[in-house]
Structure 1
Amino acid sequence: MASPYTLTPSDETAYGTLIHLHGRVLLITGISSDSPAQHNRLAELMVGVLSRLTPAEQAELDAIVGAHEACWTQETPAP
């Protein structure tokens, strides 16, 4: 089964790695480091932890993220 998590890695122009859940940004690494490698490694470790959630925990996380997306979408006017 494919992981629902993907990464947008940090580079020299953006010090922070994005962790996506089903294509939506879930987390951004926020360490005090100017090293893209450290941000990227932290994100990989975090995804490792997230991938060990039980199915019930993953469903709960999906519901929380989905509810937030629905609320945000309703509050944001269309361009």
Structure 2
Amino acid sequence: MRRMSDEARAREERISMEAKTERERMHSESLAREDRLMRLAEGLTARFEALAGQYEGLAQDVHEIKSSINGKDVA
């Protein structure tokens, strides 16, 4: 009876340890995925900010060209 109890306890501890290891692995993987997604989002944000700056420069250039064509001074 005692041997069965010891075996059951050992089996329970092994299962518990395996579950804990699996949870820790899944948590670690989720943190890595989150980190990759955050880097992607930050990269996209930087790209959009650069594009917005380029767009503003182009808009100013177009305004200057139109003003020049129409014979008006650019302020």
Decide which structure has the larger Cα Rg and report it: 2
Q: Which has the higher strand share?
A: 1
How does the TM-score come out when normalised to structure 1? 0.30
Q: Which has the higher helix share?
A: 2
